[in-house]
Amino acid sequence: MIKAIVNGKSSFTVNQGEQLICNDKVVDWSGVQLPNGDFSIIMDGRSYTAQVLKLDKETKTVQLQIAQQVYEVAIEEPIDQLLASMGIKDALVKKINDIKAPMPGLVLKVLVTPGQAIKKGDPVLILEAMKMENVFKSATDAVVKEIKVKERTAVEKGEVLIVLE
């Protein structure tokens, strides 16, 4: 059983076996992906066109547009529901505490400061390695706890560059 939470409010339980069951009611539906990437869905005799605006597999959320209305859908799989019932909902969230050098290189620029709040995808550091500039981006929302390196210094593979909390 999958739980879908729409726009942070409406909750639906969905079971897919031979039939689709939503909130204990059999749903008659069919759907196909269109050549442009949208989806054509027929549900209970009504036709809809859905467009996936954003898909985030890590947070298990999808943003859909159906008939000019945008819906944010969060998916909870059985393991997520079990962990939530045990009070350890975030147990599967991978916590990243530091950014390490994947190869030897030279720190060109540090783009953050200690105590700075950063968002997933924010650039944090530029490392030159093998004559190429590599921009390191945050893999998660975090706060910069400590910067372990200085600009224009050489680093080794695996060396901690920035500590996050």
DSSP label at residue 83 = H
Give the position of tokens 């030279």: 106
The model carries a pTM of: 0.52
Element (H, E) at 79: helix 78-85
Which of 85, 120, 142 is the last residue in one of the domains? 85
In a domain, 90, yes or no: no
- The number of distinct structural domains making up the chain is 2
Token digits for 120?
């997933």
pLDDT range class, residue 56, cuts 50, 70, 90:
confident
Which of 85, 111, 142 is the last residue in one of the domains? 85
Confidence check: pLDDT of 91 > 70: no
| Cα 59 from Cα 48, distance rounded (Å) | 26
Range of the domain at 146: 98-164
pLDDT range class, residue 78, cuts 50, 70, 90:
confident
